Every structure is written in C-alpha cells, then in structure tokens.
C-alpha cells in the first residue's frame, strides 16, 4: 500500500510539472505577443498625441515649408501615390508572368532551379543595394534622371522577388486535379492557366502584391539614392518629374531642430500609417471576397 | 505482336488499339509491352493490384501522361487507324475526343452550369450552350437534381453528384471514348451504384475504359476485362471468361481474392 502511494505521488508530481510547463509556455508566448502589441500601441498613441493637432485639410493640401504653420504633406503624399501606383503597374504584371512561367511552363531542370534560388536571394537583398542599382541603371545609364519613373522602376525591382514568390505559392496551391480536369476536356495550356489557375490563385497573388506594395510605400533608402529629395514644392505632373515621398518627407522633418517640426513629422506618420492600413485592409477585403466566391 | 485473347469474334469495330505500349517514369517502367484492343461501344475494365500500371495505361489513351514530367511512352495507340503519338497529332485534340473522368470528383470552383459549359467553351463551341449543358446533365442523370439551381457552386453538391457532374462535363465536349479512373472509389455504395447504372447506359453511345480495383464492379459493368500485374498485361478477354474460366493462374488467384 505504502509503495503504491509513493508511485501515485510521484506520478502526481510528474503530471503537475508537465502542466506547469505547459502553462509557463503559454504565458511566455502570450507575453511575447504583448511585447509586440504594446510597442505598437505606445507608438500609435505617442504619434497620435503629437501629430493629431496638426492634422487638418490644410496639412494635406499644403506643400512643405520653412514655416511649421504652413508646412504640409501635399507633395509627399502625391509623390508616394504616384510612385506606388506606378510600381504596382510595372511590378504586378511582370511578377505574375514570371511566376506563371516558372510554375506552369518552365521545364524543371537545373537552370530553373538556379533562377528560383536567385529570386529567393534577391528578396533578401538590402534595399539600399537596389537604390545603387537604380542610380546606376535608371538614373544614369538609361538617362531617366531623378524622376518618378526612376523611383518606381527601382522599387519595382525591389518588390518583384517578393511578389513572384507569393504568386508562385498561390499558383502551387491550385490542386493538380483541377489542372487535370481542364486538360482532360481538351483545354490548351493557356486556357488552363487563364480560366482555372489564375482565377484560383488570384486572391493569394493580390494579397502578396499589396503587402509588397506596402513595403514599397515605406521605403526611403533606395529613393534617396535615385534622387528623391526632402523638399519639393510641387506635385509630380508626369513620369519625368522630380518627387518626394512620405517617409522621406517625415525623415527630413524629424531631422530639423524646431520642436514644431517634430509634431508635423508625427502628423506625416499618421498619414503614412493610414495609407498603409488602408492598403492592408484592401488586401484582406479582396481575399475574403474571392474566397467567399469559390 | 502480342496476342489479344478472345476479342475479334464480337464483331464490334475497334475504338482504340494499344500496340506494344510501354511507359516509364525516369528509370522505372510502369507499363511493359501491353497490347490490347478496345472495341467500340463496349465497356473495358482494367483490373489489377495497386501499382500494376492500370491507371498509367489508361492515361496513355488520351495522352495525359504528356503532362507528367519525365514520363516516356513507347509503342503506339491507334485511334481510327492513326497513332495518337504520331508527330503532328495534337494532344489537345486527342483529349477532346477521348475524355476522362478522374478518381476523385474534381469539379471546378464555379457554378454547375459553368462546369459543364467549360469544355464546349474552350473548344470554341458556338451554338446552343444551354441545350448542351442540359443534354449532358440529363445523360449523366443529374438534371432532375440540379435543373433549378444551375447557378449554384458545384461544391455545394454531394460527392456522388459531383462525380456525375464531372461525367456530364466530360460528355459535354462530345467525346467518342470516355476513360474512367476508379470513378466510384471515393463514393458511398448508393452513389457508386448510380455511377454503375450510368456507365451501363452510356455504353450505347460511348466506348468506355474503366480502371477499377473493385472486382465485383468490373464483373457487373464491363464486357471485357484486362488483368494487369506489375506493368504487364496478364490476360485480356470477355469479362465472363476472366472471372469464371481464366486461362492464367495469376488471373484466377487475383479474381478469387487470393492475392492483390
């Protein structure tokens, strides 16, 4: 009897330890999550407190100025919208085409594998390197100068690997049974891709694209390299115009000594974050809509 | 030429003739030197244990193996006297005339109507699409169940209904031959029975080659049965002969359930 109790007690303490481990792990994970959320919340509150009083229609519709009261984000907002839109127009079709080629057409041998590995590596190259490439290639060699187009092309190179990889992922997720069914009905490869693969992969492709574009929206370094400047008193009217973008404008304000400009920078950050959150929300809405349909 | 047992006296014209067909994936040979004749408007069952090459052989008949990287097909498959693997034969056209129904129901994530209409559409059909869809759904005995909800997603149908939809989809492109790769293996007994009845009706207008690992099913629905083992055709002949009086010992052992 006694020894039996001993066994039970040992077993009991063992179970107790396992339970405690499980609880501790859950708490640890919960705490880690909190660190991220709390940091984000503090940032948002801080920025909002600093910047909200400065936010107004005037702030959105005024150009940058030496005088804090007259400074606004018009040029930077327009520049960001220009650059990101143009980047989307350039990068999206190229990346999706590349992904479709790699998944549906390319023969699977070592060249394709080498290209694949390269794309994965390119996604990890620091953005400043793309800036230097953009400066040498687009600004100088192609003579595009410090223009919206140079900036958009540079950012396109930067985000293409990301879009290609997420598009490949989405295309690979289309079941092969669907492809078989379509081929079995006498569809050509193009028809299979056009009518089955792309529609099914589209939500995933769009989500990946929008997330990549959000990254492009927040980029500063490569755009400094291709000549975006911190002080622009006009909105771009064409592809060859000079431009600035929100992150750059914010950086230029933050680096000024006057405290008023810190508040203006905070207001600029609110504008940038709103733009980012809108894009991410669009990604979620798009995905849900397409998923509900199929 | 390998001998083709027991066929020829039936009087039916051949729809497909496999002649010394071998298929390999890389170094592995899946089908070795198989010759058999599929008579028109008959049901031919391919039976054999898992991995015996029956699905691979089936996929030779409409060049689906072309889609598998490093699959190689040797020999010839004659269809109306012409080798399907001849230079200049378009595999897309082959697959239109020789349709296929797969193991698991695989409807497109579209409406019931669009599933059936997909084949005619990609083949450039201009005409009464509604009529084709209705006729195909009637042929696959699904029309009465779905006629009032053609716009609904095909995914809303039960497994058995989905498989009949896939059959309707195949029939919509008006093939001459329908290949079926274990079409009832993922269905319950009642749905299976409906598919079998359907196959029985379809052979009036189509030639059917069906892969099945269910021997009762082969015995019930087929006119001819081919027994494959380890990539080779062991025996081919009228279903009754194969099941009651096979000439090969291995066939008898398999159909009586002693191995496989």
ipTM metric: 0.90
Cα–Cα distances in angstroms (integers) from residue B91 to residues A183, A256, A258, in the given order? 9, 69, 73
Q: How far is A200 from chain B (nearest CA, A)?
A: 8
What is the reported pLDDT for A11?
A: 60
Nearest CA in chain A to B97: A186
pLDDT tens for chain B, residues 1 to 260:
344 444 444 556 889 999 999 999 988 999 999 999 999 999 999 999 988 999 999 999 999 998 888 899 999 999 988 999 999 999 999 999 999 999 999 999 999 999 999 999 999 998 999 999 999 999 999 999 999 999 999 999 999 999 999 999 999 999 999 999 999 988 899 989 989 999 999 999 999 999 998 889 999 999 999 999 999 999 999 999 999 999 999 999 998 887 75
Three-point CA angle B190, B194, B200, nearest 5°: 145
Q: How far is A102 from chain B (nearest CA, A)?
A: 14
Dihedral class, residue B257 (left if φ above 0, else alpha if ψ from -120 to 50, else beta): left
What whole-number distance in Å separates Cα of residue A55 and Cα of residue A41? 19
Contact B102 A191 (CB under 8 A): no
Q: Shortest CA distance to B141 belongs to which of B124, B123, B117, B163?
A: B163
pLDDT in tens, A123-168: 999 999 999 999 999 988 998 888 899 999 999 999 999 999 999 9
Q: Which residues of A touch B182 (CB under 8 A)?
A: none
Token pair listed for B209: 């080659």
What whole-number distance in Å separates Cα of residue A213 and Cα of residue A90? 11
Contact B99 A184 (CB under 8 A): yes
What is the reported pLDDT for A293?
A: 53
Among B62, B107, B122, beta carbon nearest to A187: B122
Mean pLDDT computed over A12-18: 81
What is the reported pLDDT for B103?
A: 93
What whole-number distance in Å separates Cα of residue B122 and Cα of residue A186? 8
**Range with lowest mean pLDDT among A62-66, A86-90, B61-65:** A62-66
* Three-class DSSP labels, A212-241: HHHHHHHCCHHHHHCCCCCCCCCCCCCCCC
Strands (E), chain A: none
Q: Which residues of B touch A107 (CB under 8 A)?
A: 69
The H or E element that residue B240 is part of is helix B239-244
Sheet holding B28-39, edge to edge: B28-39, B14-25, B71-79, B82-83
Q: How far is B225 from chain A (nearest CA, A)?
A: 24
Q: Is the pLDDT of residue A107 over 70?
A: yes
Give the three-class secondary structure for B86: coil
Mutate to test the interface with B, among A186, A202, A291 (most CBs of B within 10 A): A186
| B221, B184 contact by CB (below 8 A) | no
What is the reported pLDDT for B5?
A: 47
Token pair listed for A165: 């990889």
Token pair listed for A239: 């592809």
Q: How far is B253 from chain A (nearest CA, A)?
A: 34
Q: How far apart are the first and last CA of chain A?
A: 64
Token pair listed for B63: 């060049």
CB proximity list for B233: less than 8 A, separation 6 or greater: B2, B34, B35, B36, B226, B227
Give the three-class secondary structure for B152: coil
Cα–Cα distances in angstroms (integers) from residue B245 to residues B196, B239, B256, in the given order? 24, 10, 11
Q: How far is B92 from chain A (nearest CA, A)?
A: 5
Contact B106 A187 (CB under 8 A): no
Q: Is B189 exposed, middle or buried (0-12, 13-18, 19+ CB in 10 A)?
A: exposed
Q: Shortest CA distance to B5 belongs to which of B35, B41, B44?
A: B35
Q: What is the pTM of this model?
A: 0.83
Dihedral class, residue A187 (left if φ above 0, else alpha if ψ from -120 to 50, else beta): beta
Q: Which position has the higher pLDDT, A98 or A11?
A: A98
What is the reported pLDDT for A21?
A: 93
pLDDT in tens, A206-257: 999 999 999 999 988 899 888 777 677 777 878 878 888 999 989 988 888 8
Cα–Cα distances in angstroms (integers) from residue B45 to residues A261, B36, B50, B228, in the given order? 82, 12, 15, 11
Cα–Cα distances in angstroms (integers) from residue B60 to residues A172, B8, B53, B73, B139, in the given order? 25, 22, 11, 8, 26
Mutate to test the interface with A, among B58, B67, B117, B151 (most CBs of A within 10 A): B67
What is the reported pLDDT for A1?
A: 47
Nearest CA in chain B to A177: B106
Q: How far apart are the first and last CA of chain B?
A: 28
The owner of tokens 């269910």 is B214
Q: Shortest CA distance to A272 belongs to which of A234, A229, A219, A228?
A: A219
What is the reported pLDDT for B100?
A: 96
Q: Which position has the higher pLDDT, A8 or A105?
A: A105
Nearest CA in chain B to A294: B109
B119 CB within 8 Å of a chain A CB: yes
What whole-number distance in Å separates Cα of residue B139 and Cα of residue B133? 10
pLDDT in tens, A18-55: 999 999 999 999 999 999 999 999 999 999 998 888 88
Dmax over CA atoms of chain B, in Å, equals 54
Q: Shortest CA distance to A156 belongs to which of A77, A76, A98, A242?
A: A98
What whole-number distance in Å separates Cα of residue A144 and Cα of residue A140? 7
Q: Which residues of A touch B96 (CB under 8 A)?
A: 185-186
CB proximity list for A154: less than 8 A, separation 6 or greater: A130, A131, A133, A134, A138, A222, A223, A225, A226
Let me know how long chain B is: 260
Nearest CA in chain A to B110: A294
Q: Which position has the higher pLDDT, A7 or A124?
A: A124
């Amino acid at each position: 009897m006694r020894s039996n109790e001993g066994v039970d007690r040992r077993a009991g303490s063992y179970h107790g330890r396992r339970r405690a481990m499980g609880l501790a792990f859950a708490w640890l994970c919960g705490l880690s999550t909190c660190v991220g959320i709390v940091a984000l919340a503090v940032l948002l509150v801080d920025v909002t407190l600093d910047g909200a009083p400065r936010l107004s229609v005037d702030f959105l519709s005024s150009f940058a100025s030496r005088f804090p009261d007259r400074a606004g984000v018009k040029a930077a907002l327009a520049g960001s919208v220009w650059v990101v839109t143009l980047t989307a127009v350039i990068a999206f079709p190229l990346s999706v085409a590349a992904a479709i080629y790699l998944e549906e057409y390319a023969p699977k041998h070592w060249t394709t594998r080498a290209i694949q590995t390269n794309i994965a590596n390119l996604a990890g190259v620091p953005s400043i390197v793309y800036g230097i490439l953009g400066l040498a290639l687009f600004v100088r060699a192609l003579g595009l100068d410090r223009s919206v187009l140079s900036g958009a092309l540079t950012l396109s190179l930067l985000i293409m690997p990301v879009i290609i990889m997420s598009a490949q992922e989405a295309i690979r997720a289309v079941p092969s049974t669907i492809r078989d069914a379509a081929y079995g009905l006498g569809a050509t490869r193009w028809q299979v891709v056009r009518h089955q693969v792309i529609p099914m992969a589209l939500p995933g492709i769009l989500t990946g694209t929008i997330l990549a574009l959000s990254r492009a929206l927040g980029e500063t370094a490569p755009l400094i390299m291709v000549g975006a400047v911190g002080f622009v008193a006009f909105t771009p009217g064409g592809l060859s115009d000079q431009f600035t973008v929100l992150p750059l404008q914010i950086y230029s304000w933050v680096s000024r000594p006057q405290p008023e400009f810190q508040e203006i920078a905070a207001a600029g950050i609110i504008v940038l974050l709103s733009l980012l959150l809108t894009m991410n929300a669009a990604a979620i809405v798009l995905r849900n809509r397409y998923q509900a349909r199929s | 030429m390998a001998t083709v047992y027991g066929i020829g006296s039936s009087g039916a014209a051949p729809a497909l003739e496999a002649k010394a067909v071998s298929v390999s994936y890389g170094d592995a040979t899946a089908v070795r030197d198989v010759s058999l004749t599929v008579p028109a408007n008959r049901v031919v069952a391919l039976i054999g244990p898992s991995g015996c090459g029956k699905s691979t052989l089936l996929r030779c008949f409409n060049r689906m193996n072309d889609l598998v990287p490093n699959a190689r097909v040797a020999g010839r498959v004659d269809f109306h006297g012409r080798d399907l693997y001849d230079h200049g034969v378009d595999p897309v056209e082959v697959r239109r005339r020789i349709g296929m129904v797969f193991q698991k129901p695989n409807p497109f994530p579209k409406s019931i109507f669009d599933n059936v209409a997909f084949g005619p559409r990609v083949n450039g059909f201009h005409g009464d699409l509604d009529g084709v869809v209705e006729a195909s759904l009637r042929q696959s005995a699904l029309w009465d169940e779905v006629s009032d909800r053609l716009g609904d997603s095909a995914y809303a149908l039960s497994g058995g209904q989905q498989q009949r939809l896939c059959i309707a989809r195949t029939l919509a492109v008006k093939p001459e031959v329908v290949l079926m790769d274990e079409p009832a293996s993922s269905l319950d007994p009642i749905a299976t029975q409906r598919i079998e009845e359907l196959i029985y009706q379809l052979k009036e207008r189509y030639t059917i080659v069906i892969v099945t690992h269910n021997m009762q099913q082969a015995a019930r629905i087929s006119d001819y049965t081919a027994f494959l083992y380890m990539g080779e055709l062991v025996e081919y002949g009228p279903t009754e002969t194969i099941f009651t009086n096979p000439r090969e010992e291995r066939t008898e052992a398999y159909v009586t359930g002693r191995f496989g």
